[in-house]
Amino acid sequence: MRWASKTPTAAYAEPITDLDGQAMDTPWFAKRPVSGVRPGDHGWLAYSGSEERDRVIGPFVQEGLQTNEKVVYVTDAPPERLPGLGERHRIDVDAYRRTGQLRVISRQDACLDRYGGFAPARMVDTLGREVDEAFDQGFRAVRITTDYSWLLTEPRSDLGQMLGCEHRVGDAVSPSTMAMAICQIDQHACRREELIALRDTHEVLVEVNPEFDDGILKIVRTFEPDGLRVEGELDAARHAVFAEQLTQVSKERRRVHLDLSRLAFIDLGGLHLMARHATVLPAGEPLVLDRLAPGVESVIEMVGWHRLPGLTRGDDGSLSGSKGVGR
């Protein structure tokens, strides 16, 4: 089984980094946008619903097909219903399948034994075989994904088997210069402690691509609770883009949350922008400020909450230790 590229240089030359931009040899719980996933990444996505899943797995699949990378999807769903595929995305699924660049493999063929039971060794062998073939076919990398939610809802499901499978997949993918994987799971499919155990078999937590990122301010869509994570510095030059993103995320949502744990600076204009936005939200539905960074909280305390009607304090971050399993 070969998991390394046959090319003399790696398919992705840039170093893998964490959120702070520091190069990491063995990242632990590095959180990356889906477009930042690279060969060697054994990624984890505990999604809250179909919107979050589609906005992560869709780009993962599409970017692979657009850049001469093989995409392997283990699923029983029809290809045209998979995230990022089908007519609405203007992707000719049959054409990619004919060339072998897109491989949609049923669970029966990929990871079930003859009695219909989950066979972790067969899953690892299946993925290894697909990587070997991609190597010989000249693809520069292989993107692998599957959703394990079905397994956790089976009456005969065995968490130990799943953990063993994830460790084996991780051991194969992590040193690879060719293969990358995102393991999906519906975070509502099992108990929180099971999600944490599964998450801990991965080094990379994958999330949606930022809505905006200019190196100073980053705005990332969040799910459950619906809202935005705002990072960096929010100054006058970036009020317009922040207001636009607030408006977009507030459409058809009664309550919007802002995760401000990584917001290092906000000017008074930014605070008043939030307060003005809150006035157009449905009655009784404030704009919720979660996980306030100390510096931002100090500014709000100085101004006074009473002068910012419609804003309210939310989650204080006490569940941050469960990152990657939803809140």
Residue, of 3 and 280, whose pLDDT is higher: 280
| Interval 23-80: pLDDT, tens | 334 446 789 999 999 999 999 999 999 999 999 999 999 999 999 999 999 999 999 8
| Interval 239-257: pLDDT, tens | 999 999 999 999 877 789 9
Report pTM: 0.88
Least confident segment among 230-234, 250-254, 270-274: 250-254
pLDDT at 223: 95
The long-range contacts involving 157-164, CB below 8 angstroms and separated by at least 24 positions, are: 157/118, 158/118, 159/190, 159/194, 159/197, 159/198, 161/118, 161/120, 162/118, 162/120, 162/198, 163/197, 163/198, 163/201, 164/120
d(CA 75, CA 70): 16
Task: Looking at 89-216, list the stretches that DSSP marks H as alpha helix, in order from N- to C-terminal side.
Answer: 93-99, 107-111, 120-137, 149-152, 159-173, 192-199
**Neighbouring-strand partners of residue 73:** 104, 145
Return the exposure string of 130-167: e unless at least 16 CB atoms fall within 10 Å of the residue's CB, then b.
Answer: bbeebbeeebbbbbbbbbbbbbbeeeebeeeebbebbe
pLDDT at 219: 98
CATH topology (fold) of 212-322: Transcription Regulator spoIIAA (3.30.750)
Region 92-119: mean pLDDT is 94
The SS3 assignment for 280 reads: coil
d(CA 247, CA 253): 10
Dihedral (Cα; 233, 235, 240, 243), 10-degree rounding = 60
pLDDT at 322: 56
Confidence of residue 280 (pLDDT cuts 50, 70, 90): confident
**Per CATH, the architecture of 30-207 is what?**
3-Layer(aba) Sandwich (3.40)
Portion of the chain with pLDDT greater than 90, in percent? 73
d(CA 68, CA 53): 23
d(CA 181, CA 146): 9
Q: Is the pLDDT reported for residue 15 higher than 90?
A: no
Q: What is the mean pLDDT of the chain?
A: 89
Helix (H) or strand (E) holding 141: none
The SS3 assignment for 175 reads: coil
Region 232-243: mean pLDDT is 98
pLDDT at 315: 86
Q: Is the pLDDT reported for residue 144 higher than 90?
A: yes
- Amino acid at position 84, single letter: G
pLDDT at 28: 65
For the chain, domain boundaries: 30-207, 212-322
| Interval 85-105: pLDDT, tens | 877 788 889 999 999 999 999
